[in-house]
Structure 1
Amino acid sequence: MSVGAWEPQVSGRQEENQWEFDRDQLQRLISVAASDNSLSANLNKDDLKASKLIRLPAQQWLEESQHWDNEQLWQLIRFFTLAEMELTGWDAGAESAVIPLAKELRQRKAPLQKEQLLWIRQHSNNRYLPYGPL
């Protein structure tokens, strides 16, 4: 008789945690946020269906943010802030991509400025933005 622990294979969970960022798609999201136009009117069907992006683990966003400059990160923050309010299924609460993106800006010694913080408060009802739960 052997004593051990049986561990089921969780291939679905592994696939869930492995997300390949589409940088072209992120660039489109940045452009839409920078344009100050309605999100839903300016996104294609694939972009509208990508609500999983807003809830990806913080570590994945911190790694991906290395490919973007500070202004692009701010535009992603703007996009995700607006997406929670304007797009169905994009609500994220404490899992919002805004939180790790704001953290990355702080780590770069380029924290969100007062005007940016006020903008987030005016355009969001997510109490966790931009810094997450206490």
Structure 2
Amino acid sequence: MSIGTWSADPAASQSITMSEQLLQSFIALTEQQQLDDLSQQLSAQEQADYALLMRQNLAFWQPHVQELSDAEIIALMKFFTKAEQLPGWDAGDQSPVIALGKILKQRGTGINKELSLWIKANSNNRFLPHGSLL
């Protein structure tokens, strides 16, 4: 008989490798205004593989975006805002949009009103863009 551990969080037992190329592909989708049909832009396998990104914390994102410009981080925020509409990509208060917004704040840029309004208009996630109030 074997005894193991079980976690309700599927991300706890899986890992994802992040590449600059992957981030740049997400940025390109935003810049090319292809966010409204992400289910067509990402294959079913990509959707399954990359869904783990939606529940990664600030410590995960910091090293991956440190070389990106503010505009590129904003593009990623827009990508992940729309990506929450994909099956299995909902993230609630763990959304990368929140972590990326914190990174912008650390840089002294923050989230401007225009971006905040865009995010709220394009998401049903009540935690976006700033996270939980508590």
In structure 1, how many angstroms separate the alpha carbons of the residues matched to 2:53 and 2:69? 19
> How large is the RMSD of aligned CA atoms in angstroms?
2.2
Structure number with greater Rg is 1
Q: Contact (CA 8 Å) 1:33, 1:76: kept in 2 or not?
A: yes
In structure 2, how many angstroms separate the alpha carbons of the residues matched to 1:29 and 1:44? 13
Secondary structure of 1:67's counterpart equals coil
Spell out the pairing of 1:35-114 with structure 2 (5 A cutoff).
Answer: 35-37=32-34, 38-49=37-48, 50-85=50-85, 87-114=86-113
Q: TM-score, normalized by length of structure 2? A: 0.81
Counterpart for residue 28 of structure 2: 31
- Identity percentage over the alignment? 35
What is the Cα deviation at residue 19 of structure 1? 4.1
Q: TM-score, normalized by length of structure 1? A: 0.81
Counterpart for residue 3 of structure 1: none
2:79 counterpart letter in structure 1: F
Counterpart for residue 8 of structure 2: none
Counterpart for residue 5 of structure 1: none
In structure 2, how many angstroms separate the alpha carbons of the residues matched to 1:15 and 1:48? 18
In structure 2, how many angstroms separate the alpha carbons of the residues matched to 1:82 and 1:45? 16
* Unmatched runs of 5 consecutive residues or more in structure 1: 1-7
In structure 2, how many angstroms separate the alpha carbons of the residues matched to 1:130 and 1:35? 22
Structure 1 residues 67 and 44 mapped into 2: Cα distance closer, same or farther (>3 Å)? farther
* Unmatched runs of 5 consecutive residues or more in structure 2: 6-10
In structure 2, how many angstroms separate the alpha carbons of the residues matched to 1:62 and 1:132? 17
